[in-house]
Chains A and B, each alone.
Chain A
């Protein structure tokens, strides 16, 4: 193991041991908000040290892509993320749920990235997972991954409010970003591409252009816009 990876794992261990199972505020209040959540639970804001892992470099093997950095999420974290994955994009006739295709694996890869662009998401996801467990324990005495469907729904419904109450601003920002990662990760998988109906990445001899159906739609749109079909 490289020094940089060892360093990364060391700070992760330090960060995780510093997290209380329930925040101090929760032990002294019974307050509940109309959302059903505990508004006294502030955003954990566990500090995220600089990730010392290294990237894949400026000349990676493009034919055999691999992720060289250590992955940071624990099994319970990934279980929680896959549960949320199936809440955001549950299975239906178009395809499997996001959790079913282990969307947590992608999120783990993303938030473990050593690049600066992902650092904000790393902080959001780690703190968000802590916050989810706090609220879940408040509701049903179990962490989010083990919570009952009703408790999960209370939390997710609150995070989807628009606008959100002040005490949910940071948790909702986390959840919005997490939804983006779930959606982006899912629809870039073969299962997700099939589910959305994407057509492409298929070599062909000649490019046929728009299908008859697509042309018909365009004609209708142009008519609505009072534009002629271009010559």
Chain B
């Protein structure tokens, strides 16, 4: 009955997908007086009722370790998701690897994301102008900065005034205090600084002060629960504890879950009429219409929708006159270096959990050297650092399991607890012609919708970057008196497969020229002005700075522009 009402009621805008971009668009549009129908492929989700904040390892199957059913562990918030979703396959070109993460739940990946929220900097919006590679965004940092401000106000974050080149800080008054650094972070900072590498307070979408609100009150972090479980107290940002209830409170938001959108339905060559979706519970297909449609289904899903919406007017896929839909597929470059630090063994134990995220991190710092051509890769990376008193788990073995029993083993396990440090490299991938998604004409999902086929090949840029990261992290570990756990890795062997960092982007990029981009500077398709894209597909480039904050900021910016046009009757 609810869904029937949703289908018959008139809405100004249909949004496909309730993750970072879609939920922010819903919030921005409804508060601007626009009515919205939000379609989510997954089920409804209530973090207050479903987040086991303090559940312990022994209470979960297999001590909560990851399984194919729950790739990030039993308590992870993700529902019906992972790099493989039953009934929803994808294919990859022969001999190539790409892993496509999806989740099927209200709020999408915001329920479990890492929540590291650096702003893109001025350089990041004009990469081609700086090094002649890739493409410039049609917008500048100065144009986006006010939207970062607004987004950060509602998302909530901790951060400091670091004052670093191309790493904009929030204006005073927005960011909450950063939690105190822990012992291993201070040691890494001391060693890194000694080698000329910065290590500064991080920026995470986590409240460290209460945020009272009648509709969506959010509490300060209480420094205990892993953020990936989701956060029923609202400290760590997720759409389902903030912008979605806020949008719902306007009375202008209708949400339909289990609605798997199959294609965009057109009214004319350059005007979208609505979308067709499959009710995942009944298998029935429905069509809903509105004045405008926003695709925010995730970068790859959105490009799949555009390609599957091809028609006589758009034979190569909707809004794909440029041929760029599905192209320029990027993920964040991922690498890892670990160290064992004897000096951290047997140290005084204290509560080192903190806020479950890095309180300090290592930002990119070699802009000058890159400009001088001293490095064999063009863009930056950062390290998210880790460590702390970590309990042994079911996979404990090797060097972590001394070959003694009894009292000697107890003593050794206690001594070793807290001796590890971790350096997770996150770097900028430059779009290349070998990485793209297309429709696989031979395979359909359980709903009968043609699936994506991925093509993927890292370029030397990324492999050289990971090698540099390995060298840097190893030097820091050595300076701490430690040993590297993966000393024989190379850039080529260490780089994570495409898609594994779950920062896909670029498959419907924004640009200033309809011939080489899909979207204009306000996220509208050049060829279909009432069809917008508000997810990672929009990314003209994907700097090493985790993309979600920028996706949310630009979704808000696009939505306010759309709201103005709707009020002006542009799409009447």
Contact = CB atoms under 8 A, between A and B. Distances in A.
Contact of A188 (B187, B344, B391): B391
Nearest to A197: B349
A65 B55 contact: yes
Instruction: Find the residue from A90, A156, A200, A208 having the highest chain B CB count within 10 A.
Output: A200
A116 B68 contact: yes
Given A62-B50, A199-B389, A205-B222, A183 B63 contact: no
A181 interface: yes
Contacts of B187: 218, 221-222
Given A204-B222, A210-B183, A62 B52 contact: yes
A187 B392 contact: yes
Contacts of B80: 58-59
A118 B58 contact: no
Contact of B74 (A65, A90, A221): A65
Contacts of B43: 59
Contacts of A176: 397, 401, 403
B191 A227 contact: yes
A190 B394 CA distance: 15
Interface string A170-194: 0000001101110111011110110
> Size class of B's contact patch?
35 or more
A40 interface: no
Contacts of A218: 183, 186-187, 347
B481 interface: yes
A162 interface: yes
A58 B392 contact: no
B215 interface: no
B223 interface: yes
Nearest to B81: A58
Given A199-B389, A225-B479, A230-B186, A207 B355 contact: yes
Contacts of B417: 196-198
Instruction: Find the residue from A116, A195, A201 having the highest chain B CB count within 10 A.
Output: A201
A230 B479 CA distance: 14
Interface string B65-108: 00111100011000111100110000000000000000000000
Given A58-B86, A203-B224, A225-B481, A187 B391 contact: yes
Interface stretch (B5-13, B237-245, B267-275, B405-413): B405-413
A202 interface: yes
A92 B407 contact: yes
Contact of B67 (A65, A115, A204): A115
A116 to B, nearest CB: 7
B360 to A, nearest CB: 9
B191 A198 contact: no
Contacts of A94: 410
A57 B224 contact: no
Interface stretch (A105-113, A125-133, A137-145): A105-113
Nearest to B390: A198
Contacts of B67: 55-56, 113, 115, 117
Instruction: Find the residue from B59, B67, B481 having the highest chain A CB count within 10 A.
Output: B67
A229 B185 CA distance: 12
Given A180-B396, A221-B187, A190 B405 contact: no
Contacts of B396: 180, 183-184
Interface in B404-445: 404-407, 409-410, 413-414, 417
Nearest to A121: B394
B391 A196 contact: yes
A154 interface: no
A180 B63 CA distance: 13
A181 B394 CA distance: 5
B415 to A, nearest CB: 10
Nearest to B65: A117
B313 interface: no
A197 to B, nearest CB: 5
Contact of B353 (A58, A180, A201): A201
A94 B349 CA distance: 15
Contacts of B56: 188, 190, 201
A79 to B, nearest CB: 19
A213 interface: yes
Instruction: Find the residue from A56, A92, A188 having the highest chain B CB count within 10 A.
Output: A188
B82 A63 contact: no
Nearest to B51: A62
Contacts of B182: 209-210
A209 B153 CA distance: 26
> Main SS of the interface on chain B?
loop
B350 interface: yes
Nearest to A58: B80
A9 B82 CA distance: 30
Contacts of B409: 88-89, 183
A200 B193 contact: no
A88 B86 CA distance: 41
Instruction: Find the residue from B54, B229, B410 having the highest chain A CB count within 10 A.
Output: B410
B353 A200 contact: yes
Given A197-B349, A207-B354, A214 B61 contact: no
B194 interface: yes
Contacts of A205: 220, 222
B57 interface: yes
A155 to B, nearest CB: 12
B373 interface: no
Contacts of A207: 179-180, 221, 223, 354-355
Contacts of B393: 184, 187-188
A20 interface: no
B114 interface: no
A195 B410 contact: yes
A200 B352 contact: yes
B549 interface: no
B455 interface: no
B375 interface: no
A204 B75 CA distance: 21
B115 interface: no
5 contacts: A60-B74, A115-B68, A188-B57, A190-B56, A227-B191
The 5 residue pairs across chains A and B that have the minimum distance between CB atoms? A209-B180, A203-B222, A188-B57, A184-B394, A213-B348
Interface of B: 43, 49-52, 54-63, 67-70, 74-75, 79-82, 85-86, 179-183, 186-187, 189-191, 193-194, 199, 220-225, 229, 343-344, 347-355, 389, 391-397, 401, 403-407, 409-410, 413-414, 417, 479-481
Interface of A: 55-60, 62-63, 65-67, 87-90, 92, 94, 106, 109-110, 113, 115-118, 156, 160, 162, 176-177, 179-181, 183-185, 187-190, 192-193, 195-205, 207-211, 213-218, 221-222, 224-225, 227-230
Given A225-B343, A229-B186, 10 more contacts: A55-B69, A60-B69, A66-B61, A106-B58, A113-B61, A184-B63, A196-B410, A198-B391, A218-B183, A222-B187
